Chain A
Protein backbone atom coordinates (compact mmCIF):
# COMPACT_ATOMS: atom_id res chain seq x y z
CA UNK A 1 0.00 0.00 0.00
CA UNK A 2 1.32 3.42 -0.86
CA UNK A 3 2.64 5.77 1.79
CA UNK A 4 -0.23 8.23 1.28
CA UNK A 5 -2.75 5.55 2.28
CA UNK A 6 -0.69 4.60 5.34
CA UNK A 7 -0.79 8.20 6.51
CA UNK A 8 -4.54 8.43 5.86
CA UNK A 9 -5.11 5.17 7.74
CA UNK A 10 -3.13 6.50 10.70
CA UNK A 11 -5.40 9.54 10.86
CA UNK A 12 -8.50 7.35 11.17
CA UNK A 13 -9.57 5.96 14.54
CA UNK A 14 -10.46 2.28 14.82
CA UNK A 15 -14.10 1.06 14.79
CA UNK A 16 -15.46 4.02 12.85
CA UNK A 17 -17.52 4.53 9.69
CA UNK A 18 -15.60 5.77 6.65
CA UNK A 19 -16.72 6.88 3.19
CA UNK A 20 -13.96 6.70 0.58
CA UNK A 21 -14.88 9.03 -2.28
CA UNK A 22 -13.14 7.95 -5.45
CA UNK A 23 -12.11 4.69 -3.83
CA UNK A 24 -10.47 3.33 -7.00
CA UNK A 25 -9.56 -0.33 -6.66
CA UNK A 26 -10.52 -0.32 -2.96
CA UNK A 27 -6.98 -0.75 -1.55
CA UNK A 28 -7.51 1.74 1.27
CA UNK A 29 -10.99 0.41 2.11
CA UNK A 30 -9.71 -3.14 2.25
CA UNK A 31 -6.85 -2.11 4.53
CA UNK A 32 -9.16 -0.16 6.85
CA UNK A 33 -11.66 -3.03 7.06
CA UNK A 34 -9.01 -5.64 7.74
CA UNK A 35 -6.78 -3.70 10.12
CA UNK A 36 -8.89 -1.12 11.89
CA UNK A 37 -12.33 -2.73 12.03
CA UNK A 38 -13.74 0.07 9.92
CA UNK A 39 -17.22 -0.09 8.40
CA UNK A 40 -16.42 1.40 5.01
CA UNK A 41 -18.36 2.49 1.95
CA UNK A 42 -16.85 3.49 -1.34
CA UNK A 43 -17.88 5.84 -4.07
CA UNK A 44 -16.42 5.49 -7.54
CA UNK A 45 -17.21 6.74 -11.02
CA UNK A 46 -15.46 3.98 -13.00
CA UNK A 47 -17.71 0.98 -13.66
CA UNK A 48 -14.78 -1.41 -13.93
CA UNK A 49 -13.36 -0.34 -10.60
CA UNK A 50 -16.77 -0.51 -8.91
CA UNK A 51 -17.36 -4.04 -10.18
CA UNK A 52 -13.87 -5.05 -9.16
CA UNK A 53 -14.41 -3.70 -5.62
CA UNK A 54 -17.80 -5.40 -5.26
CA UNK A 55 -16.18 -8.67 -6.28
CA UNK A 56 -13.78 -8.17 -3.38
CA UNK A 57 -16.66 -7.82 -0.96
CA UNK A 58 -16.41 -4.03 -0.67
CA UNK A 59 -19.60 -1.99 -0.57
CA UNK A 60 -19.00 0.46 -3.35
CA UNK A 61 -21.57 2.62 -5.08
CA UNK A 62 -21.13 3.70 -8.66
CA UNK A 63 -21.72 7.39 -9.10
CA UNK A 64 -20.40 10.88 -9.61
CA UNK A 65 -19.42 12.40 -6.27
CA UNK A 66 -20.15 15.86 -7.63
CA UNK A 67 -23.84 15.01 -8.06
CA UNK A 68 -24.48 11.93 -5.96
CA UNK A 69 -22.96 12.74 -2.56
CA UNK A 70 -26.29 14.39 -1.80
CA UNK A 71 -27.81 10.96 -1.24
CA UNK A 72 -25.92 10.49 2.00
CA UNK A 73 -27.60 11.96 5.04
CA UNK A 74 -25.78 14.59 7.10
CA UNK A 75 -23.20 13.28 9.57
CA UNK A 76 -23.67 9.70 8.39
CA UNK A 77 -19.94 8.95 8.54
CA UNK A 78 -17.12 9.56 11.00
CA UNK A 79 -14.62 10.22 8.23
CA UNK A 80 -14.80 10.87 4.54
CA UNK A 81 -11.66 10.41 2.43
CA UNK A 82 -10.92 12.21 -0.83
CA UNK A 83 -7.58 11.18 -2.22
CA UNK A 84 -6.05 13.27 -5.02
CA UNK A 85 -9.42 13.91 -6.63
CA UNK A 86 -10.44 17.39 -5.50
CA UNK A 87 -8.75 18.99 -8.49
CA UNK A 88 -10.86 16.95 -10.93
CA UNK A 89 -14.24 18.35 -9.87
CA UNK A 90 -16.06 21.18 -11.63
CA UNK A 91 -16.81 22.77 -8.30
CA UNK A 92 -14.31 21.73 -5.60
CA UNK A 93 -15.72 24.27 -3.15
CA UNK A 94 -19.15 22.62 -3.25
CA UNK A 95 -17.63 19.16 -2.97
CA UNK A 96 -15.74 20.15 0.20
CA UNK A 97 -18.99 21.54 1.62
CA UNK A 98 -20.71 18.26 0.81
CA UNK A 99 -17.90 16.18 2.35
CA UNK A 100 -18.12 18.14 5.59
CA UNK A 101 -21.88 17.75 5.63
CA UNK A 102 -21.77 13.95 5.17
CA UNK A 103 -19.05 13.57 7.77
CA UNK A 104 -17.72 15.69 10.60
CA UNK A 105 -14.15 14.99 9.57
CA UNK A 106 -12.73 14.87 6.06
CA UNK A 107 -9.29 13.73 4.92
CA UNK A 108 -8.35 15.47 1.70
CA UNK A 109 -5.10 14.91 -0.16
CA UNK A 110 -3.92 17.14 -2.96
CA UNK A 111 -1.11 16.86 -5.51
CA UNK A 112 0.84 20.03 -4.71
CA UNK A 113 1.16 22.37 -7.67
CA UNK A 114 3.63 24.43 -5.63
CA UNK A 115 6.20 21.57 -5.63
CA UNK A 116 9.59 22.84 -6.81
CA UNK A 117 9.85 20.42 -9.73
CA UNK A 118 6.56 21.70 -11.10
CA UNK A 119 7.63 25.31 -10.67
CA UNK A 120 10.95 24.56 -12.33
CA UNK A 121 9.30 22.76 -15.22
CA UNK A 122 7.06 25.73 -15.94
CA UNK A 123 9.88 28.22 -15.41
CA UNK A 124 12.49 26.52 -17.57
CA UNK A 125 10.42 24.73 -20.20
CA UNK A 126 7.45 27.05 -20.29
CA UNK A 127 5.04 24.15 -20.82
CA UNK A 128 2.44 22.60 -18.52
CA UNK A 129 4.23 20.43 -15.96
CA UNK A 130 4.12 16.66 -16.18
CA UNK A 131 5.19 14.71 -13.11
CA UNK A 132 4.66 11.34 -11.41
CA UNK A 133 1.50 12.60 -9.70
CA UNK A 134 0.35 14.63 -12.71
CA UNK A 135 1.13 12.40 -15.67
CA UNK A 136 -1.29 13.85 -18.26
CA UNK A 137 -0.88 16.44 -20.97
CA UNK A 138 -2.79 19.70 -20.60
CA UNK A 139 -5.25 18.63 -23.30
CA UNK A 140 -6.26 15.32 -21.77
CA UNK A 141 -5.81 15.85 -18.06
CA UNK A 142 -8.85 15.18 -15.84
CA UNK A 143 -7.54 17.92 -13.53
CA UNK A 144 -9.55 21.10 -13.80
CA UNK A 145 -8.65 22.95 -10.60
CA UNK A 146 -5.02 22.41 -9.62
CA UNK A 147 -3.96 24.01 -6.37
CA UNK A 148 -0.92 24.15 -4.12
CA UNK A 149 -0.63 23.21 -0.44
CA UNK A 150 -0.61 26.95 0.30
CA UNK A 151 -3.78 27.48 -1.76
CA UNK A 152 -5.63 24.77 0.12
CA UNK A 153 -4.34 26.10 3.43
CA UNK A 154 -5.63 29.57 2.61
CA UNK A 155 -8.91 28.15 1.30
CA UNK A 156 -9.57 26.50 4.67
CA UNK A 157 -8.75 29.73 6.52
CA UNK A 158 -11.10 31.72 4.30
CA UNK A 159 -13.92 29.19 4.61
CA UNK A 160 -13.54 28.81 8.38
CA UNK A 161 -12.65 25.15 7.97
CA UNK A 162 -10.56 23.86 10.84
CA UNK A 163 -7.36 22.08 9.86
CA UNK A 164 -6.97 19.41 12.54
CA UNK A 165 -3.86 17.94 11.01
CA UNK A 166 -1.79 18.75 7.93
CA UNK A 167 1.04 16.67 6.58
CA UNK A 168 3.43 17.00 3.68
CA UNK A 169 4.71 14.03 1.74
CA UNK A 170 7.87 14.03 -0.33
CA UNK A 171 8.71 10.58 -1.64
CA UNK A 172 8.45 8.39 1.45
CA UNK A 173 9.22 11.27 3.81
CA UNK A 174 6.44 12.77 5.91
CA UNK A 175 6.51 16.02 7.84
CA UNK A 176 3.92 18.22 9.45
CA UNK A 177 2.86 21.55 8.02
CA UNK A 178 2.30 24.60 10.20
CA UNK A 179 1.95 28.31 9.52
CA UNK A 180 5.68 28.96 9.86
CA UNK A 181 6.78 26.06 7.65
CA UNK A 182 4.02 26.54 5.05
CA UNK A 183 6.19 28.30 2.47
CA UNK A 184 8.92 25.69 2.65
CA UNK A 185 6.58 22.69 2.61
CA UNK A 186 4.75 24.22 -0.32
CA UNK A 187 8.03 24.12 -2.21
CA UNK A 188 9.41 20.79 -1.05
CA UNK A 189 6.37 18.48 -1.02
CA UNK A 190 4.65 16.49 -3.73
CA UNK A 191 1.50 15.85 -1.77
CA UNK A 192 -0.47 17.57 0.99
CA UNK A 193 -2.66 15.55 3.37
CA UNK A 194 -5.24 17.45 5.39
CA UNK A 195 -7.58 16.33 8.12
CA UNK A 196 -10.25 19.01 8.24
CA UNK A 197 -13.51 19.66 10.02
CA UNK A 198 -16.14 22.34 9.98
Chain B
Protein backbone atom coordinates (compact mmCIF):
# COMPACT_ATOMS: atom_id res chain seq x y z
CA UNK B 1 0.00 0.00 0.00
CA UNK B 2 1.24 3.45 -0.86
CA UNK B 3 2.50 5.11 2.31
CA UNK B 4 0.96 8.39 1.16
CA UNK B 5 -2.49 6.89 1.69
CA UNK B 6 -1.78 6.51 5.41
CA UNK B 7 -0.91 10.13 6.16
CA UNK B 8 -2.92 12.05 8.76
CA UNK B 9 -5.34 14.08 6.73
CA UNK B 10 -8.04 16.56 7.50
CA UNK B 11 -10.76 17.15 4.90
CA UNK B 12 -11.61 20.84 4.88
CA UNK B 13 -15.32 21.35 4.29
CA UNK B 14 -15.28 25.16 4.55
CA UNK B 15 -15.09 26.62 1.08
CA UNK B 16 -11.94 28.66 0.45
CA UNK B 17 -11.90 31.40 -2.17
CA UNK B 18 -8.43 31.39 -3.66
CA UNK B 19 -6.66 34.57 -4.77
CA UNK B 20 -7.12 33.44 -8.37
CA UNK B 21 -10.89 33.58 -7.81
CA UNK B 22 -11.55 29.85 -7.80
CA UNK B 23 -13.38 28.34 -4.82
CA UNK B 24 -12.23 25.02 -3.39
CA UNK B 25 -13.92 22.83 -0.78
CA UNK B 26 -13.75 19.28 0.54
CA UNK B 27 -10.01 19.32 0.00
CA UNK B 28 -7.40 17.47 2.09
CA UNK B 29 -4.75 19.00 4.33
CA UNK B 30 -2.14 16.46 5.42
CA UNK B 31 -0.55 17.26 8.75
CA UNK B 32 1.57 15.85 11.54
CA UNK B 33 1.82 16.78 15.21
CA UNK B 34 4.54 16.39 17.83
CA UNK B 35 4.18 16.62 21.60
CA UNK B 36 0.90 17.01 23.47
CA UNK B 37 -1.64 19.80 23.43
CA UNK B 38 -2.11 20.81 27.07
CA UNK B 39 -5.46 21.32 28.76
CA UNK B 40 -5.39 25.10 28.41
CA UNK B 41 -4.42 24.68 24.75
CA UNK B 42 -1.86 27.42 25.09
CA UNK B 43 1.25 25.47 24.08
CA UNK B 44 0.63 25.01 20.36
CA UNK B 45 3.17 26.06 17.76
CA UNK B 46 2.33 26.05 14.07
CA UNK B 47 5.42 25.43 11.94
CA UNK B 48 5.31 26.30 8.25
CA UNK B 49 7.50 24.44 5.79
CA UNK B 50 9.62 25.80 2.96
CA UNK B 51 9.46 25.07 -0.78
CA UNK B 52 10.37 21.39 -0.70
CA UNK B 53 9.44 20.63 2.91
CA UNK B 54 6.47 18.70 4.20
CA UNK B 55 4.59 18.05 7.42
CA UNK B 56 7.40 15.87 8.84
CA UNK B 57 9.16 18.60 10.75
CA UNK B 58 10.80 16.25 13.29
CA UNK B 59 11.31 12.57 14.02
CA UNK B 60 11.58 10.22 11.05
CA UNK B 61 9.78 11.04 7.83
CA UNK B 62 7.91 7.80 6.97
CA UNK B 63 8.12 8.44 3.23
CA UNK B 64 11.86 9.15 2.97
CA UNK B 65 12.91 7.32 6.14
CA UNK B 66 15.16 10.29 6.86
CA UNK B 67 15.09 12.76 9.71
CA UNK B 68 12.37 15.41 9.60
CA UNK B 69 13.46 18.60 7.84
CA UNK B 70 13.77 20.61 11.06
CA UNK B 71 14.99 17.85 13.35
CA UNK B 72 17.91 20.00 14.54
CA UNK B 73 15.40 22.45 16.00
CA UNK B 74 12.26 20.48 16.80
CA UNK B 75 12.05 17.48 19.13
CA UNK B 76 12.26 16.45 22.78
CA UNK B 77 14.56 18.87 24.70
CA UNK B 78 15.48 20.67 21.46
CA UNK B 79 15.12 24.36 20.56
CA UNK B 80 11.40 23.84 20.06
CA UNK B 81 10.96 21.32 22.84
CA UNK B 82 8.21 18.84 22.05
CA UNK B 83 8.15 17.77 25.70
CA UNK B 84 6.74 21.21 26.33
CA UNK B 85 5.08 22.40 23.15
CA UNK B 86 2.55 20.89 20.77
CA UNK B 87 3.97 21.35 17.30
CA UNK B 88 1.68 21.19 14.29
CA UNK B 89 2.94 21.18 10.74
CA UNK B 90 0.89 20.76 7.59
CA UNK B 91 1.79 20.12 3.99
CA UNK B 92 0.95 23.28 2.03
CA UNK B 93 -1.78 23.16 -0.59
CA UNK B 94 -0.03 22.76 -3.92
CA UNK B 95 2.32 20.27 -2.22
CA UNK B 96 2.73 16.58 -2.90
CA UNK B 97 2.67 15.00 0.55
CA UNK B 98 -1.04 14.43 0.94
CA UNK B 99 -2.49 17.95 0.83
CA UNK B 100 -4.58 19.18 -2.07
CA UNK B 101 -2.19 19.68 -4.96
CA UNK B 102 -1.55 19.03 -8.64
CA UNK B 103 -1.07 15.31 -7.97
CA UNK B 104 -4.55 15.07 -6.37
CA UNK B 105 -7.31 13.29 -8.23
CA UNK B 106 -10.09 15.42 -9.68
CA UNK B 107 -13.27 13.68 -8.39
CA UNK B 108 -15.21 14.82 -11.45
CA UNK B 109 -12.95 13.21 -14.01
CA UNK B 110 -11.13 10.69 -11.80
CA UNK B 111 -7.93 11.97 -13.37
CA UNK B 112 -4.87 13.55 -11.76
CA UNK B 113 -5.34 17.32 -11.77
CA UNK B 114 -1.90 18.21 -13.11
CA UNK B 115 -1.89 21.77 -14.37
CA UNK B 116 -5.67 21.93 -14.03
CA UNK B 117 -4.86 22.59 -10.38
CA UNK B 118 -5.47 26.30 -9.70
CA UNK B 119 -2.53 28.64 -9.21
CA UNK B 120 -2.28 29.15 -5.46
CA UNK B 121 -0.60 31.81 -3.33
CA UNK B 122 1.08 32.04 0.07
CA UNK B 123 -2.16 33.64 1.27
CA UNK B 124 -4.14 30.60 0.08
CA UNK B 125 -1.73 28.22 1.82
CA UNK B 126 -2.10 30.08 5.11
CA UNK B 127 -5.88 30.33 4.90
CA UNK B 128 -6.09 26.59 4.24
CA UNK B 129 -3.87 25.77 7.23
CA UNK B 130 -5.86 28.05 9.50
CA UNK B 131 -8.53 25.33 9.56
CA UNK B 132 -6.16 23.30 11.75
CA UNK B 133 -6.75 25.75 14.61
CA UNK B 134 -10.45 25.06 14.48
CA UNK B 135 -9.85 21.34 14.21
CA UNK B 136 -7.70 21.32 17.37
CA UNK B 137 -9.96 23.92 19.03
CA UNK B 138 -6.99 26.20 19.61
CA UNK B 139 -8.05 29.78 20.21
CA UNK B 140 -4.55 31.23 20.16
CA UNK B 141 -1.27 29.68 19.10
CA UNK B 142 1.74 30.19 21.31
CA UNK B 143 3.87 30.70 18.23
CA UNK B 144 4.00 30.58 14.46
CA UNK B 145 7.41 29.80 13.06
CA UNK B 146 9.00 29.10 9.70
CA UNK B 147 12.02 29.75 7.50
CA UNK B 148 12.23 30.83 3.86
CA UNK B 149 8.77 30.23 2.34
CA UNK B 150 7.76 29.16 5.86
CA UNK B 151 8.74 32.64 7.04
CA UNK B 152 6.60 34.21 4.35
CA UNK B 153 3.69 32.15 5.64
CA UNK B 154 4.40 33.42 9.18
CA UNK B 155 4.15 37.02 7.94
CA UNK B 156 0.99 36.29 5.99
CA UNK B 157 -0.53 34.43 8.94
CA UNK B 158 -0.08 37.39 11.32
CA UNK B 159 -1.39 39.74 8.66
CA UNK B 160 -4.51 37.60 8.10
CA UNK B 161 -5.07 36.64 11.74
CA UNK B 162 -3.47 39.44 13.80
CA UNK B 163 -4.24 38.06 17.23
CA UNK B 164 -4.09 34.33 16.74
CA UNK B 165 -0.45 33.92 17.79
CA UNK B 166 1.34 35.17 20.86
CA UNK B 167 4.74 35.10 19.21
CA UNK B 168 6.00 34.85 15.64
CA UNK B 169 9.41 33.85 14.31
CA UNK B 170 9.92 34.57 10.61
CA UNK B 171 13.36 33.29 9.62
CA UNK B 172 15.50 34.02 6.55
CA UNK B 173 12.61 35.33 4.50
CA UNK B 174 11.26 38.40 2.77
CA UNK B 175 8.04 40.38 2.51
CA UNK B 176 8.26 40.40 -1.28
CA UNK B 177 10.06 38.09 -3.64
CA UNK B 178 12.90 39.92 -5.37
CA UNK B 179 13.65 39.88 -9.10
CA UNK B 180 16.58 37.58 -8.33
CA UNK B 181 14.34 35.15 -6.42
CA UNK B 182 11.84 35.13 -9.28
CA UNK B 183 14.65 34.63 -11.79
CA UNK B 184 15.96 31.53 -10.02
CA UNK B 185 12.47 30.09 -9.72
CA UNK B 186 11.82 30.71 -13.40
CA UNK B 187 15.05 28.90 -14.23
CA UNK B 188 13.81 25.90 -12.24
CA UNK B 189 10.39 25.95 -13.86
CA UNK B 190 11.80 26.22 -17.37
CA UNK B 191 14.07 23.30 -16.63
CA UNK B 192 11.06 21.15 -15.67
CA UNK B 193 8.97 22.28 -18.61
CA UNK B 194 11.85 21.70 -21.04
CA UNK B 195 11.93 18.02 -20.08
CA UNK B 196 10.15 16.15 -22.90
CA UNK B 197 8.52 13.94 -20.26
CA UNK B 198 6.70 16.88 -18.73
CA UNK B 199 4.00 16.65 -21.45
CA UNK B 200 2.33 19.94 -20.55
CA UNK B 201 1.95 18.70 -17.00
CA UNK B 202 0.16 15.49 -17.95
CA UNK B 203 3.11 13.18 -17.29
CA UNK B 204 1.36 11.13 -14.59
CA UNK B 205 -1.47 10.04 -16.88
CA UNK B 206 1.17 8.81 -19.33
CA UNK B 207 3.20 7.10 -16.59
CA UNK B 208 6.08 9.41 -17.29
CA UNK B 209 8.05 11.66 -14.99
CA UNK B 210 10.14 14.71 -15.91
CA UNK B 211 12.95 13.57 -13.63
CA UNK B 212 15.78 15.19 -15.55
CA UNK B 213 14.10 18.58 -15.59
CA UNK B 214 13.13 18.38 -11.94
CA UNK B 215 16.59 17.27 -10.91
CA UNK B 216 18.26 20.14 -12.79
CA UNK B 217 15.76 22.49 -11.12
CA UNK B 218 16.80 21.13 -7.74
CA UNK B 219 20.50 21.40 -8.59
CA UNK B 220 20.15 25.05 -9.58
CA UNK B 221 18.09 25.86 -6.50
CA UNK B 222 20.49 23.98 -4.25
CA UNK B 223 23.35 26.28 -5.26
CA UNK B 224 21.30 29.27 -4.16
CA UNK B 225 20.86 27.71 -0.70
CA UNK B 226 24.61 27.57 -0.08
CA UNK B 227 27.27 30.23 0.17
CA UNK B 228 30.37 30.61 -1.98
CA UNK B 229 32.62 30.18 1.04
CA UNK B 230 30.65 27.19 2.27
CA UNK B 231 30.96 25.48 -1.12
CA UNK B 232 34.64 26.34 -1.42
CA UNK B 233 35.38 25.00 2.04
CA UNK B 234 33.41 21.78 1.59
CA UNK B 235 34.34 20.95 -2.00
CA UNK B 236 36.95 23.34 -3.35
CA UNK B 237 38.27 21.79 -6.55
CA UNK B 238 38.40 18.30 -5.06
CA UNK B 239 37.97 15.49 -7.58
CA UNK B 240 35.37 12.77 -7.29
CA UNK B 241 36.90 9.31 -6.80
CA UNK B 242 39.64 9.97 -9.33
CA UNK B 243 43.18 11.28 -9.31
CA UNK B 244 43.08 13.23 -12.55
CA UNK B 245 40.65 15.01 -14.81
CA UNK B 246 39.05 12.63 -17.30
CA UNK B 247 38.64 15.10 -20.17
CA UNK B 248 34.96 14.31 -20.48
CA UNK B 249 31.64 15.39 -19.04
CA UNK B 250 31.32 12.93 -16.19
CA UNK B 251 31.31 14.37 -12.72
CA UNK B 252 35.03 15.03 -12.32
CA UNK B 253 34.55 17.39 -9.40
CA UNK B 254 33.00 16.53 -6.06
CA UNK B 255 30.65 19.49 -6.31
CA UNK B 256 29.26 18.11 -9.57
CA UNK B 257 28.74 14.71 -8.06
CA UNK B 258 27.13 16.24 -4.99
CA UNK B 259 24.68 18.30 -7.03
CA UNK B 260 23.79 15.35 -9.26
CA UNK B 261 23.13 13.27 -6.17
CA UNK B 262 20.94 16.01 -4.64
CA UNK B 263 18.98 16.21 -7.89
CA UNK B 264 18.56 12.44 -8.17
CA UNK B 265 17.25 11.86 -4.64
CA UNK B 266 14.91 14.81 -4.92
CA UNK B 267 12.91 13.39 -7.82
CA UNK B 268 12.03 10.34 -5.73
CA UNK B 269 10.15 12.43 -3.22
CA UNK B 270 8.86 15.46 -5.08
CA UNK B 271 6.31 16.09 -7.80
CA UNK B 272 7.40 18.30 -10.69
CA UNK B 273 4.06 20.08 -10.99
CA UNK B 274 4.09 20.85 -7.26
CA UNK B 275 7.47 22.46 -7.80
CA UNK B 276 5.96 24.69 -10.48
CA UNK B 277 2.99 25.68 -8.34
CA UNK B 278 4.86 26.34 -5.12
CA UNK B 279 7.61 28.42 -6.76
CA UNK B 280 4.86 30.41 -8.45
CA UNK B 281 3.21 31.07 -5.10
CA UNK B 282 6.54 32.34 -3.75
CA UNK B 283 7.04 34.61 -6.75
CA UNK B 284 3.57 36.07 -6.35
CA UNK B 285 4.24 36.86 -2.69
CA UNK B 286 4.29 40.61 -2.13
CA UNK B 287 2.87 41.50 1.26
CA UNK B 288 3.81 45.16 0.75
CA UNK B 289 1.66 45.32 -2.35
CA UNK B 290 -1.21 43.61 -0.53
CA UNK B 291 -1.19 46.66 1.74
CA UNK B 292 -0.90 49.27 -0.99
CA UNK B 293 2.80 49.81 -0.59
CA UNK B 294 2.89 50.11 3.20
CA UNK B 295 4.12 46.90 4.79
CA UNK B 296 3.50 48.26 8.30
CA UNK B 297 -0.21 48.08 7.68
CA UNK B 298 0.11 44.29 7.42
CA UNK B 299 1.00 44.19 11.11
CA UNK B 300 -0.55 47.26 12.74
CA UNK B 301 -3.52 45.29 14.12
CA UNK B 302 -1.31 42.71 15.80
CA UNK B 303 -0.07 42.44 19.38
CA UNK B 304 2.14 39.50 18.46
CA UNK B 305 5.73 39.55 19.67
CA UNK B 306 8.03 39.11 16.67
CA UNK B 307 11.52 37.68 16.56
CA UNK B 308 13.14 38.02 13.15
CA UNK B 309 16.28 36.11 12.26
CA UNK B 310 18.61 36.31 9.28
CA UNK B 311 21.98 34.71 8.48
CA UNK B 312 25.19 36.47 7.47
CA UNK B 313 25.90 34.30 4.42
CA UNK B 314 22.31 34.05 3.11
CA UNK B 315 22.31 35.84 -0.24
CA UNK B 316 18.95 34.44 -1.35
CA UNK B 317 16.98 36.13 1.45
CA UNK B 318 19.65 38.54 2.68
CA UNK B 319 19.73 40.37 5.99
CA UNK B 320 18.66 43.60 4.27
CA UNK B 321 15.33 42.06 3.23
CA UNK B 322 14.73 40.68 6.72
CA UNK B 323 15.56 44.10 8.12
CA UNK B 324 12.92 45.66 5.90
CA UNK B 325 10.38 43.62 7.85
CA UNK B 326 11.89 44.87 11.14
CA UNK B 327 11.66 48.46 9.88
CA UNK B 328 8.00 47.99 8.91
CA UNK B 329 7.25 46.54 12.35
CA UNK B 330 9.04 49.39 14.11
CA UNK B 331 7.18 51.90 12.02
CA UNK B 332 3.93 50.79 13.61
CA UNK B 333 5.33 50.36 17.10
CA UNK B 334 5.08 46.56 16.99
CA UNK B 335 6.98 44.39 19.43
CA UNK B 336 10.01 43.12 17.54
CA UNK B 337 13.46 41.69 18.17
CA UNK B 338 15.97 41.00 15.45
CA UNK B 339 19.31 39.28 15.12
CA UNK B 340 21.60 38.22 12.30
CA UNK B 341 23.23 34.88 13.04
CA UNK B 342 26.81 34.30 11.92
CA UNK B 343 26.98 31.25 9.65
CA UNK B 344 28.83 30.42 6.43
CA UNK B 345 26.21 27.87 5.43
CA UNK B 346 24.08 30.24 3.33
CA UNK B 347 20.31 30.21 3.20
CA UNK B 348 20.34 26.55 4.28
CA UNK B 349 21.55 27.68 7.74
CA UNK B 350 18.01 27.69 9.09
CA UNK B 351 17.78 23.93 8.51
CA UNK B 352 21.19 23.09 9.93
CA UNK B 353 22.90 22.67 13.26
CA UNK B 354 23.84 26.31 13.88
CA UNK B 355 24.15 26.50 17.69
CA UNK B 356 23.52 30.26 18.17
CA UNK B 357 20.40 30.00 16.03
CA UNK B 358 19.01 26.99 17.87
CA UNK B 359 19.75 28.33 21.35
CA UNK B 360 18.34 31.80 20.67
CA UNK B 361 15.03 30.35 19.50
CA UNK B 362 14.94 28.03 22.48
CA UNK B 363 15.51 30.88 24.95
CA UNK B 364 13.08 33.21 23.22
CA UNK B 365 10.28 30.64 23.25
CA UNK B 366 10.92 29.34 26.75
CA UNK B 367 11.10 32.79 28.29
CA UNK B 368 7.96 34.04 26.59
CA UNK B 369 6.12 30.84 27.48
CA UNK B 370 7.08 31.28 31.13
CA UNK B 371 5.53 34.76 31.37
CA UNK B 372 2.06 33.90 30.05
Name the A residues within 8 Å of B331 (CB-CB). 71-73
Stretch at the interface among B209-217, B286-294, B362-370: B362-370
- Select B339's contact among A41, A50, A73, A76, beta carbons within 8 Å: A50
B342 at interface by CB-CB < 8 Å: yes
- How many A-B residue contacts, CB cutoff 8 Å? 64
Task: Give the interface residue-count category, chain A.
Answer: 20 to 34
Q: Counting CB contacts under 8 A, is A120 at the interface? A: no
Residue in chain B with minimal CB distance to A19: B330
Q: Mark B351-372, 1 if CB is under 8 A from A, else 0.
A: 0000010011011100110010
Contact in complex: A51, B360 (CB < 8 Å): yes
| Beta-carbon contact of B342 and A58 below 8 Å | no
The A42-78 residues at the B interface (CB cut-off 8 A) are: 47, 50-51, 53-63, 68, 71-73, 76
Residues in A whose Cβ lies below 8 Å from that of B327:
71
With the chains together, A53 CA to B333 CA distance in Å? 19
Expressed in whole angstroms, the minimum distance between the Cβ of A77 and any Cβ of chain B is: 9
Interface string of B324-340 (1 = CB under 8 A from A): 00110011010111111
Give the distance in Å from the alpha carbon of A162 to the alpha carbon of B335 in the complex. Answer: 30
Which residue of chain B has the shortest Cβ distance to A68 in the bound complex? B323
Residue of A nearest to B371 (CB): A57
Q: Are A62 and B339 also in contact (CB < 8 A) when A54-B307, A54-B363, A57-B367 are?
A: yes
Compute how far the CA of A54 lies from the CA of B342 in the bound complex, rounded to whole angstroms.
Answer: 16
Question: Is B305 part of the binding interface, using a Cβ–Cβ cutoff of 8 Å?
Answer: yes
Given A47-B340, A51-B356, A56-B367: A76 in contact with B333 (beta carbons within 8 A): yes
**B334: nearest residue on chain A (CB-CB)?**
A59
A51-B326 in contact (CB<8A):
no
CA distance A60 to B331 in the complex (A): 15
Distance (whole angstroms) from the CB of B188 to the closest CB of chain A: 32
- Which B residues fall within an 8 A CB radius of A? 305, 307, 323, 326-327, 330-331, 333, 335-342, 356, 359-360, 362-364, 367-368, 371
19 residue pairs from A and B, CB less than 8 Å apart:
A47-B339, A47-B340, A47-B341, A47-B342, A50-B337, A51-B359, A54-B307, A54-B363, A55-B362, A55-B364, A56-B363, A60-B338, A61-B326, A61-B337, A71-B323, A71-B326, A71-B330, A73-B331, A76-B330
Binding site for B on A (CB under 8 A): 17, 41, 47, 50-51, 53-63, 68, 71-73, 76
